[in-house]
Each structure stands twice: as C-alpha cells, then as structure tokens.
C-alpha cells in the first residue's frame, strides 16, 4: 500500500530552522539524503522531492476552454507544502515508522496519508 508523507513549512518550523547552526542545517539535509537512501535500500521508495518556494508557484485554471495562469500566492501564506515522500509498504504501522525517520518529525510533525488505490472488495 502506498502512503504519502507530507512535510509542511509553517511559522514553527521556520523559527526552528532560523535558530539552527550551519552544521545543524547540514546534518538536517544529510538526514533527508540518508532517509532517501534507506528507503531505496529497503525497496519501499516510490518518490520523494523537496518543493521550491511557493512564490514560484503558478495557479492554473481552465474556463471556457481557455487556460488561465496566475502567479503564486500574492500574500505570504502561513503554511505550505515543502516536500514529500511517497512509499510503498505493507501497512500503516510501517509507514508511520518511516515517517518517524523524517528529520522534520523531530522538529515539528509530518503527516502520513494513505493513497487511494484501485482495489475493490466484493460487496
């Protein structure tokens, strides 16, 4: 079963990041790299990325067949998605165990969301 581990950036996480020394920040980055490798090594890694700043986002909508593109949030948003891991593991417990290894979990918290699949039970 696939699970998405979501990492948010918010005032709390920014305050912690702000207080970190360069060494601590480097260790934090290494933590993510090592986690990526550990997930790959365990054969559970599907995808994982960090997201660029929300000011670089584009909002896309289609009205009457016309695509309308606008720039990312005009006002500073308090909380935004900063990165994610997509993993394939047998159970929620294992997904939670992987989430606990995300460096951000030690500072704030990360969210684990099950992915809907196409399986079906015969009613």
Partner 1 sequence: MGVLTPLEEVLRTAAPQVLGAVVRRYGDFDTSEDAVQEALLAAARQWPREGMPDDPRAWLIRVASRRRIELLRNEEARRRREALPADPVPSVRGDDELTLLVLCCHPALTPLSQVALTLRAVGGLSTAEIARALLVPESTVGQRISRAKRKIREAGARFVLPANFEERLPGVRQTLYLIFNEGHTASSGSSLHRVELSTEAIRLTRQLHARLPQDGEVAGLLALMLLTDARRPARTRPDGALVPLAEQDRTLWNRAAIEEGVEIITAALRDTEIGPFQLQAAIAAVHAEPGETDWPQILALYRLLESVAPGPMVTLNRIVALAEVDGPLVGLRALEKAATEPALATHHRVTAVRAHLLERSGDLAAARDEYLLAARQTLSLPEQRYLESRASRLR
By the criterion CB under 8 A, which residues form the site for partner 1?
A: 1, 40-47, 88-90, 114-123
Residue 60 CB, nearest distance to partner 1 (Å)? Answer: 24
Looking at beta carbons only, is 9 or 39 nearer to partner 1? Answer: 39
Report in angstroms how near the CB of residue 25 gets to partner 1 at its nearest. 29
- Separation in Å, CA 101 to CA 33, 74, 108: 11, 34, 13
Q: How far apart are CA 35 and CA 85, in angstroms?
A: 10
Give the shortest CB-104-to-partner 1 separation in angstroms. Answer: 23
Instruction: Compare residues 93 and 122 and give the one whose CB is closer to partner 1.
Output: 122
Task: State how far the Cα of 28 lies from the Cα of 2, in Å rounded to an integer.
Answer: 25
Q: Closer to partner 1 at the Cβ: 47 or 97?
A: 47
Q: Which helix (H) or strand (E) holds 109?
A: none
Judged by beta carbon, residue 95 or residue 110, the one nearer partner 1 is: 95
Buried-state track 53-77, b at ≥16 Cβ within 10 A, e below 16 = eeeeeeeeeeeeeeeeeeeeeeeee
How near is the Cβ of 112 to partner 1 at its closest, in Å? 13
């Amino acid at each position: 079963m696939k699970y998405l581990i979501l990492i948010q950036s918010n005032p709390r996480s920014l305050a912690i990041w702000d207080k970190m020394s360069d060494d601590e920040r480097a260790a934090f980055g290494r933590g993510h790299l090592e986690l990526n490798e550990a997930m790959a090594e365990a054969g559970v890694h599907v995808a994982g990325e960090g997201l660029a700043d929300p000011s670089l986002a584009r909002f896309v909508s289609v009205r009457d067949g016309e695509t309308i593109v606008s720039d990312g949030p005009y006002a500073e948003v308090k909380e935004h998605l900063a990165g994610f891991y997509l993993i394939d593991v047998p159970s929620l417990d294992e997904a939670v165990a992987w989430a606990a290894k995300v460096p951000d979990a030690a500072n704030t918290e990360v969210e684990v969301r099950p992915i809907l699949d196409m399986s079906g039970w015969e009613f």
